[in-house]
Structure 1
Amino acid sequence: MSKTILITGASRGFGKLWADAFLQRGDKVIATARNLKDLQDLSDKYGQALLPLQLDVNDRAAVFAAVQKAQQHTGRIDVLINNAGYGLFGAVEETTEQEARAQMETNFFGLLWASQAVLPIMRAQGGGHIIQVSSILGLVTLPVLGLYNASKFAVEGLSETLATEVKQFGIHVTMIEPNGFTTDWAGASAASTTPMEEYAGLRKAFSDSATPDSFGNPAATTPAILKLVDSAQPPLRLLLGKVALPFAKSVYEARLAEWDQWQEVAHAAHG
């Protein structure tokens, strides 16, 4: 049975790849982008099956208006995929107020606005599925990505809470947590702070640590996303790629060991 799927940030990367896959199999897609020219090829290919909408997710009123227009056009929204976002590269100390706020506005608040906007529609229709494109860096961290890490940690906390709140309405929430993939996330889509010499060595070590095996093939994610959207009982979290789970396990094992080491102090602090 075909679905109606709203995808934010569909101009490139995962968003555009998945939009194409949904359209190819016969779903209806509402795709948002800052520049509609980036969606012209999909419009030419799929015609009325695609509703392209210009949207800056940082504008809460515009997000609500776009979701309302999508619902009026299609009659329902079965799935929301919050994909809009970008990476900010730079040490925490290097990050300006404007850079920090812009990162949170898009990666966190834009996702929040879209989630809020779609909830009344999904409640009224008796169910739906909100898919948040988070990151493995919403569970663990890497240096020189502090604000990006923080934005995805915020997405994780928000979305886990949201899942408990909307389960009663038949609405599912899933966080997708990819490791690195060969999209342009670290290229044209990314932003960078003004570097400080004090962090030059750390930046080089971070850059040198990346190997070709660290990054997955974006096209390989499509079957996973189709399976997720079609699942009657989707998971709360879905890690994508070969690197994500081993990375998370190693970090969490270290966390547990440290918590155990300090348990006597923690217990005494209870009073």
Structure 2
Amino acid sequence: MSKVIFITGASRGFGKLWAEAFLKRGDHVAASARNLDDLNDLVSKYGNAILPVQLDVNSREQCFKVVEKVNAHFGRIDVLINNAGYGLFGAIEETTEQQARDQMETNFFGLLWMTQAVLPLMRAQKSGHIIQLSSFLGLATLPVLGLYNASKFAVEGLSETLSQEVKGFGINITLIEPNGFSTDWSGASAIQTEATDTYAPVKQAFFEAATPDSWGKPEATVDAVLKVVDSANPPLRLLLGKIAYPALKETYQQRLALWEEWKDVSADAHGH
């Protein structure tokens, strides 16, 4: 049975790749972009199966209106994939107030507005699946991506809480957590802070650590995403890529060891 899938940020990268994969197999897709011309190729190929919608996720009002439009057009929304977002590269000290606010506005608040907009429809349907594009950097961190890390940590906390709140309504939540992939995320879509000499060594070490093998192939993610969408019991979290699991396993082992080392101090701080 075909599904109605709403994907934000569908003009490029994962969003466009996954949109076409769903269309190819017979699903209906609402695809949002700031510039609808970026979706012309999919419209010419798949016709009425795709509904292109112009959307700036930073506008809460637009998010609610577009969700209403998609629901009116297709009659339901089975899956929302909150994919819109971008990377901000630079040291935390170098980050301007506007850059910091813009990063959180799109990566966190945009995702929140879309989630709030679709929840009443999914509750009425007594079914639905919200897929949040997070990152393995929502569970661990790398230097030079402080505000991006922070935005994804926020997405993680929000979505894990949400999964507990809406499970009784038949709504599933999945956090997709890719490691680095060869999309526009680190290229044309990325924003850079104004560099200073202070953090040059940190940045050099960061960029030198990324070998060509560190970056996954975006096309290879399609089967995983289709499996998650088709699952009767989808996971709360799904890592994508071969770098994420070993990196996070090491991070959590270190955290557990540190908590263990300080557990007596922690327990004493309880007071009784």
In which range does the TM-score fall when normalised by the shorter chain?
A: over 0.9
Cα distance in 1, alignment partners of residues 129 and 267 from structure 2: 40
Matched to 1:54, the amino acid is Q
* Most deviating of 74-83 and 209-218: 209-218
Matched to 2:13, the amino acid is G
Cα distance in 1, alignment partners of residues 167 and 14 from structure 2: 27
Cα distance in 2, alignment partners of residues 11 and 219 from structure 1: 15
Matched to 1:185, the amino acid is W
Cα distance in 2, alignment partners of residues 61 and 83 from structure 1: 18
State the partner residue of 1:64: 64
What secondary structure sits across from 1:143 in the alignment?
coil
Cα distance in 1, alignment partners of residues 4 and 267 from structure 2: 51
State the partner residue of 2:98: 98
Q: CA deviation at 1:268?
A: 1.2
State the partner residue of 2:11: 11
Q: CA deviation at 1:151?
A: 0.1
- Equivalent positions of 1:1-271 (< 5 A) are 1-271=1-271
Cα distance in 1, alignment partners of residues 36 and 143 from structure 2: 34
Matched to 1:179, the amino acid is N
Cα distance in 2, alignment partners of residues 265 and 163 from structure 1: 32
TM-score under structure 1 normalisation? Answer: 0.99
Cα distance in 2, alignment partners of residues 4 and 47 from structure 1: 15
Matched to 1:215, the amino acid is W
Cα distance in 1, alignment partners of residues 8 and 83 from structure 2: 5
Cα shift readout 1:130-186 (whole Å, capped 9, x = no counterpart): 000000000000000000000000000000000000000000000000001111110
- Tell me how large the CA RMSD over aligned residues is: 0.5
Percent of aligned pairs sharing the same letter? 70
Cα distance in 1, alignment partners of residues 56 and 197 from structure 2: 34
Q: Which runs of 5+ in 1 are unaligned?
A: none
**Which runs of at least 4 in structure 1 moved beyond 3 Å after TM superposition?**
none
What secondary structure sits across from 1:85 in the alignment?
coil
Q: Which runs of 5+ in 2 are unaligned?
A: none
Q: CA deviation at 1:264?
A: 1.4
Cα shift readout 1:173-209 (whole Å, capped 9, x = no counterpart): 0000000111111000000100111000100100000
What secondary structure sits across from 2:194 in the alignment?
coil
Matched to 1:220, the amino acid is A
Q: CA deviation at 1:58?
A: 0.1
Cα distance in 2, alignment partners of residues 46 and 171 from structure 1: 28
Q: CA deviation at 1:212?
A: 1.2
Matched to 1:151, the amino acid is S
Q: CA deviation at 1:126?
A: 1.1
Q: CA deviation at 1:214?
A: 0.7
Matched to 1:188, the amino acid is A
Matched to 2:265, the amino acid is V
Q: CA deviation at 1:265?
A: 1.1
What secondary structure sits across from 1:185 in the alignment?
helix
